[in-house]
A = this chain, B = another copy of it.
Amino acid sequence: MTSLPTYTIGICGFGTVGQGVWKHLTRARATIEARLGAKLVLARASVRDLKKVRGVKIPAAKLTADPLAIATDPKIDIVCELMGGTGLAREVTLAALARGKIVISANKALICAHGAEIFATARKHGGHFFFEASVAGGIPLIKALREGLVANRFTRIYGILNGTCNYILTQMEEHDAPYATVLADAKRLGYAEADESLDVDGWDTAHKAAVLAWLAHGMWVQPDRMIVEGISRITPADFKTAATLGYGIKLLAVITRDHATDELSVRVQPTLLPEGNVLANVSGVFNAVSVTGDVVGTTLYIGRGAGQDATASAVISDIGDAVALLRHGKGAHHMGDDAPLCSDCRLAPPERIRGRYYVRLSVKDQPGVLARVASVMAKHHVSIASVIQTPSERAGAASLVLTTHESDERAIRATLKNLGGLASVLEEPVLLRIGDFND
């Protein structure tokens, strides 16, 4: 019997995901160790409250309230940072990397905010930073991009990256239910956080889009430089109108690069997707990502984007890569961990982000309104493709939905600003994008 090398793992943050990693590594230890060719020791886990009762039990001696003690423990080879947040999580990550350890993270907010610093620290001290669990949960998307599709330059990556939003949108569509009702239900069921804004306003999706954009294009794009829009103003009527037009509505991250001009666009937007598009039919808490490369064409990836088990699957996949690296030196990834697939791009200015738009206006129900709206759009050279007028719940008001031919972000924003100022327009206009993606 050959004796296997042993590697020691510390878990910082023993919440849902941390407990999932511990549970599955313990439960399937023999199988996973056989696959990896190494013994794994779960040495320590850190918690905020040592007294709290948890679903996954571990010996008290293995618990600590100090995650930095794990990050700096010379006996620990692999540190899983599963605490969340960008304060202490950053300290823990940098401390472990500065000691040449491997850090595995599910923390997209941290990577988005401090990715450049994290990778620089890893490079300087010989540490490594893996992050499969940070985007699209259990789907091995990061590995697909950087290894499986290494032959490709990426022209377009778009996807449903937030299960909470997709659950809410699916419920609204299927049950003709208003946003506020569905959100309240989602909170009760544990599908939405008490403070929902990180999810429903698009910021969580933006953090994940930032990770993908960096990986594929080598540029750290902060959310404040993206177009980020949430789902809170979508109504059940929007789903009906979209269906009339042959579309579903999804919150998408969209990352496009024009390889001729090397201009990159990263945006998070509720988007009308043709009902034949696979992603239009991905419902509930699932994530789905479409990746178009210049060699492979379009590939799609669908799976659970969050939750204890799916996220643990991704973290354990990174533990597998970590073990391969510890056993054989570099080589778990084709490239260094911090090497993006492409570089040399810049953000596209709004006038070069082109698309079609869905604009919903609440207007006074009186003659001449459409003429005024149409003349504003004509002024900005935004050409109308269709107009649907429906009754409004508001007395004396009507709902006017306009779709446009192709225009650009600068023109549509100027149009909306102008429309919002009309006396006959009663509320701030609602803007959705039309994603005429066939795959």
Q: Which residues of A contact B (CB under 8 A)?
A: 24, 28, 31-32, 35-37, 132, 138-140, 143-144, 147-153, 276, 278, 281-282, 293-304, 309-310, 312-314, 316-317, 320-321, 323-325, 327-336, 339, 341-342
Contact = CB atoms under 8 A, between A and B. Distances in A.
A327 B330 contact: yes
Which of A31, A35, A144 is most buried by chain B, counting CB atoms within 10 A of its CB?
A35
A163 B317 CA distance: 30
Given A143-B147, A147-B140, A151-B316, A297 B281 contact: no
Contacts of A132: 148
Contact of A148 (B140, B149, B150, B339): B140
A35 B327 contact: no
Mostly, the A contact residues are mixed
B153 A149 contact: no
Given A140-B147, A295-B309, A299-B303, 4 more contacts: A295-B310, A297-B310, A298-B304, A323-B334
A17 to B, nearest CB: 12
B320 A324 contact: no
Given A36-B334, A328-B331, A151 B313 contact: yes
B139 A299 contact: yes
A150 B327 contact: no
Contacts of A276: 281
Contacts of A32: 150-151
Contacts of A37: 334-336
Contacts of A302: 278, 299-302
Q: Count this chain's copies in the assembly.
A: 2
Nearest to A324: B331
Which of A24, A147, A321, A336 is most buried by chain B, counting CB atoms within 10 A of its CB?
A147
Nearest to A152: B313
A232 B65 CA distance: 65
A316 B295 contact: yes
B147 A321 contact: yes
Ranked nearest first, the 10 interchain pairs of A and B with the lowest CB-CB distance are: A140-B148, A328-B331, A299-B303, A151-B316, A138-B296, A296-B313, A300-B302, A331-B331, A295-B313, A320-B334
Nearest to A25: B151
A320 B132 CA distance: 19
B295 A150 contact: no
B36 A299 contact: no
8 contacts: A28-B153, A37-B335, A132-B148, A143-B144, A151-B316, A324-B331, A328-B328, A328-B331
A226 B293 CA distance: 36
A32 B31 CA distance: 35
Which of A31, A148, A294, A310 is most buried by chain B, counting CB atoms within 10 A of its CB?
A148
A55 B435 CA distance: 36
A335 B297 CA distance: 29
A293 to B, nearest CB: 7
A149 B335 contact: no
Which of A37, A153, A297, A333 is most buried by chain B, counting CB atoms within 10 A of its CB?
A297
A430 to B, nearest CB: 29
A282 B302 CA distance: 13
Nearest to A307: B297
Which of A149, A316, A336 is most buried by chain B, counting CB atoms within 10 A of its CB?
A149
Contacts of A35: 150, 334-335, 339, 341
Contact of A320 (B140, B150, B303): B150
A312 B317 CA distance: 26
Nearest to A136: B299
Contacts of A321: 147, 334
A282 B278 CA distance: 8
A294 to B, nearest CB: 8
Contacts of A328: 328-331
